[in-house]
Amino acid sequence: MTAVAEPKYFPSSDGDLAYHEAGEGNLLVLVHSGFVDHRVFDAQIPALAETHRVIAPDVRGHGSSANASRPFRWTDDLAELLRHLDAGPAVLVGVSMGGVIVSDTLLEHPELVRAAVVCGASTGEFQDSDPWHQRIQAEIARTLAVGDLEGWLKAFLAYVPGPHRTLDAIDPDIPRRLREMALHTLSKHTPGEKDRLVRVTDTWSRVPKIDVPVLTLNGALDTADVITAAQRLADSVRHGRAVLIDGVAHYPNMERPQEFTAAIRDFLTSL
């Protein structure tokens, strides 16, 4: 299955940002993980478009969207898109970096959110103290700094099996697809490029004010800190629930697409 072939664009306050659209009905927005693009949801877009108007943006600096030319926040880009669509409030679904964008939007633009699914993430102030994760992060930073593309890809793809498996245990089509998307995104940037992203702060103290339904949806083989933080998020909001998908790590949407989609459908029917 593939997503809509041609992107649509909307003129943000700093360049054109791409999004893909399918289906009709209530608005459901899928926000992808870091270094890749909307195609991580290739299995979910057509399935969820059977009942919803599905929007899958390419986050700024990723895929077909413009890079930043000045300081920005991803949550503000998403809010601009939702206002441009004029069809909210929306249900937001985010994986990894996309999950952080979703939780930031719950805090910064609550009027635009009807409900949310946060996968492989909690808030942007989460710090994973797992030694495996810290080694991966250090290797990603090191290889990126010296322009070691193959070394960077090897470290980046380690997130697919997670800390408890090797890449040999994964369907080879998954790392192939992630590699293709990551190379496309990296090609948009130059070594030493200034990071213009402004982080959202003071998040955990504001989480209890979230009053829309929130589902945290994680692979049971992800790091213990990710799973613990997701449970904390679910427990801290007024209408939260945590679900684990067995046998997968950071990309349950790709490893177990039918189970991941079914969990979202169950959540949607509960709204």
Q: What does the pLDDT profile of the chain (271 residues) look like in tens digits?
A: 334 458 999 999 999 999 999 999 999 999 999 999 999 999 999 999 999 999 999 999 999 999 999 999 999 999 999 999 998 799 999 999 999 999 999 999 999 999 999 999 999 998 888 999 999 999 999 998 888 999 999 999 999 999 999 999 999 999 999 999 999 999 999 878 899 999 999 999 999 999 999 999 999 999 999 999 999 999 999 999 999 999 999 999 999 999 999 999 999 999 9
Query: Tell me, what's the pLDDT at 1?
Result: 38
C-alpha 226 chain-centroid distance: 14
Residues 123, 97: Cα–Cα separation, whole Å:
10
Cis upstream peptide for 89 (omega within 30°): yes
Contact in structure between 58 and 120 (CB atoms under 8 Å): no
Query: Tell me, what's the pLDDT at 87?
Result: 87
Answer CATH for 8-128+196-269 from 2.70.98.90, 3.90.1170.10, 1.10.3720.10, 3.40.50.1820: 3.40.50.1820
Output DSSP code: residue 66: P
Residue type, 54: V
Report the DSSP pairing between strands 240-245 and 214-219.
parallel
Helix, strand, coil share of the chain (percent; to 5): 40, 20, 40
Give the DSSP per-residue string, 99-166: HHHHHHHHHH-GGGEEEEEEES---TT-----HHHHHHHHHHHHHHHHT-HHHHHHHHHTTTT-TTS-
Residues 46, 43: Cα–Cα separation, whole Å:
7
Enter the tokens of residue 72.
């920005």
Query: Tell me, what's the pLDDT at 144?
Result: 87
Looking at the chain, the domain(s) classified CATH 3.40.50.1820 span 8-128+196-269
Query: Tell me, what's the pLDDT at 5?
Result: 59
pTM of the model: 0.96
Q: Rounded to whole angstroms, what are the CA distances from 94 to 173, 244, 260?
A: 22, 15, 12
Which burial class, exposed, middle or buried, applies to 253 when counting CB atoms under 10 A from its CB (0-12, 13-18, 19+)? buried
| First-last CA distance in the chain | 27
Tell me phi and psi for residue 28, to 5 degrees. -130, 125
Which burial class, exposed, middle or buried, applies to 193 when counting CB atoms under 10 A from its CB (0-12, 13-18, 19+)? exposed
